[in-house]
Structure 1
């Protein structure tokens, strides 16, 4: 009977999802042939470790694998760390669901030999971690697509740019995607001092999605090996997200530095749309307003009677800003009063404060929770943060269209037709 290998306390200190991914269960159950193939990608960089060690009896082979994965930097190449970080992002139940969805979309019959149920005993090869490793090694394009869609699903804080007109369609070609990749790579190379850059493009009805995988800044962390301290360097992969709607002319950016956003938007306009300056209008980021709520006062309630699936809406947080004259006559925030109430009365509580909208006070931010009708025990909900002029933040779900419709129908979205009339007059 094979011994179970515990992770030592003096091993390699890993951060975040990688520490959870490489645990005793993983080391004791992962297919050694898969690990040998993964390690072979970095064989030239491995020191004091031979792939032949994995050809020993299973217990000795797993001991060697344990010593490598929990050992020092000298036997743990940076490239291997990067691979494992990527695999860890998809090595859970949600990641497996995304992998399966992408396989179905690409019509890939993924591992048909595994679809045998549990005839004898639960198969460790069905573990999401094991499947993520295998897909990474055997279907890298599918793995990249799944990682991109994970980034799309988890991007919650989107910065939006409104184009100069609606209905501008995209003729997305490989040449355009490559030209955009090269331009963004040059921008990120200067910012993050790394060369890696990959762009995945995905069309979803009338929405164009681009996911840019790039190396983040190198970070260092101290680790302890025995009684000695080491400092190691890690460069993880970040995913920037761009989503463009042809019908509305709206470009949404996520996980992109604020300083880079205008340049990335212009690269998209000039290369992908072939419309330089498309997102340069004065109103490009003047998208949202809370003025209707200020006029209604503390008694404001969202009107969602048009949508039979919305149960109720709770205003759980409101921030009121006191504005005073700043430099060059532009107002600045002198102080902020923030009200929170999970029962939905956050806005009403401002009536017991010095806040008086319409004078020097303005509503700077609103957080509301939408609860949807459901037959299940747990009621689906989405929490939305709205901060004018250009930020709406919520976890993108199947209810995204409903959230945006609610915002628009309650007058919290600026009417861009007014701006178009002004532009035409000018």
Structure 2
């Protein structure tokens, strides 16, 4: 926990943070911290130094509620977190930062993601909580599947279906982790059905210091799992700690909210991505991105090939494999090193593309890994929608099966 405190405050942040906001954050815990704001030095620079030392050296003595607040603020102290806060504030017509502060000397340069997260936590708790929840919908390698139909009606507004889904999730996680809490949050947004599942993890016993004494405490950490379903396409994305949990959440969602336990269990449900354009294009293949002015360069960083059967997933299935890496174009390097290679009769197991965006004059590199049939992963989810548009434009996303849409669900 002390590490969270040290991560929260650095000297650059302490030199610019609004001290009124910091005082507001600490005020409810003053008695437990044995800290009196009025005893700080009158000189502002010395005051900031004293506060820096308080956070740096006193982290182990901070109360749990303050540590939890700092952890949540840190979660949003990133460019993606700031973007989420701003988007939610815009949706609600709320100004996160007063115009007077934006017009103040310094042109708002102090408004770092950490500063915005602190301000939102204190002044806009509803927006802050929604942004923390939104972060749970992004993971480097979520489970993605496509369902049996498109245009399906989701029972997310049916109270009985909601209750049955919550009860089933509660039973599953209670058996798995022996916890008693399982809450469901619903976030329909832009045609998507977003569901957040909050539940306890295994209990952990740890040694803590309380009032100068060493004591043993047992805690049960809470975690957030997330489901995002697009009824228009039948695609579902699930973020959870293990594959077992991701698959079970898919099954429970299909059972109780789509009234079809096998909705995502059909043949081809995991066939979402293909590298066929590269296999057929060979060395001359180029990434098409003329339509996106922000995407300045695309590098093929790695290509892994073998002779496993097309459609085989993961390692194995081939007596050999070859991984080619290059700083600019691993595909061209592959043909240079192995000029007689024929990708038409081999399997491309993985390709890694570096997409270099330029936003507001700053370069943002996003490494995208594509591994058929159902892996397309990257870490910077600020660009998620745009990256998937690029994948579709370049033929990496499989066409959905020609199945009829339905007008209603049972």
Fold shared, TM-score > 0.5 on shorter chain:
yes
Q: 1:362 to 1:265 in 2, by over 3 A?
A: same
The residue aligned with 2:407 is none
Question: In the TM superposition, what are the counterparts of 1:94-243 in structure 2 within 5 Å?
Answer: 95-108=81-94, 115-116=100-101, 129=114, 132-133=117-118, 135-137=120-122, 139-152=124-137, 154-173=138-157, 175=159, 176-177=161-162, 179-215=164-200, 238-243=223-228
**2:363 maps to 1:404:** no
Determine the C-alpha separation between the residues in 2 that align with 1:302 and 1:389.
Answer: 21
Does residue 19 (structure 1) correspond to residue 10 (structure 2)? The answer is: no
CA drift of 1:102 comes to 1.8
Corresponding residue number in structure 2 for 1:276: 261
Partner of 1:54: 36
Per the TM alignment, residue 314 of structure 1 is displaced from its structure 2 partner at its CA by: 3.3
Distance 1:379 1:125 in 2: 20
Is the 8 Å Cα contact of residues 9 and 52 (structure 2) preserved in structure 1? no
How far 1:318 sits from its partner (Å)?
A: 0.4
Task: Report the alpha carbon displacement of residue 248 of structure 1 after superposing the two structures with TM.
Answer: 0.9
Return the offset for 1:182: 4.5
- Specify the SS of the correspondent of 2:317: strand
Q: Distance in 1 between matches of 2:403 and 2:235?
A: 15
Instruction: Flag structure 1 segments of 5+ consecutive residues without an equivalent.
Output: 1-12, 41-48, 325-329, 421-426
Residues 26-41 of structure 1 aligned to structure 2 (within 5 Å): 26=14, 29=19, 31-37=22-28, 39=29
> For 2:192 and 2:317, how far apart are their aligned partners in 1?
37
Check conservation: 2:351, 2:370, Cα contact below 8 A. Answer: yes
Q: Pairwise CA RMSD of aligned residues?
A: 4.7
Other-structure match for 2:374: 390
The equivalent position to 1:367 in structure 2, one of 328, 332, 352, is 352
Moved more, 303-312 or 28-37: 303-312
CA distance in 1, matches of 2:322, 2:397: 24
SS at match of 1:332: coil
Residue 88 of structure 1 aligns to a residue whose secondary structure is: helix
Q: Which runs of 5+ in 2 are unaligned?
A: 310-314, 405-410
Q: Deviations over 1:6-46 (max 9, x none)?
A: xxxxxxx733x542104566599453343132x38xxxxxx
Measured against aligned partners, the alpha-carbon deviations of 1:165-212 in whole angstroms (never above 9, x if no partner) come to: 111133532835565444334434444554554444333322222333
1:82 to 68, 85, 96: 68
Deviations 1:51-101 (A, max 9, x none): 67436534599979966884485x444444333211221245653443243
Contact 2:307–2:320 (CA<8 Å) still a contact in 1?
A: yes
Give me the whole-angstrom Cα distance separating, in 1, the residues matched to 2:342 and 2:307. Answer: 9
Moved more, 285-294 or 330-339: 330-339
Taking structure 2 as the reference length, the TM-score comes to 0.72
Tell me, what secondary structure is at the counterpart of 2:168?
helix
What count of residue pairs does the alignment treat as equivalent? 385
**Is residue 344 of structure 1 aligned with residue 329 of structure 2?**
yes
Aligned match for 1:267, one of 246, 249, 252:
252
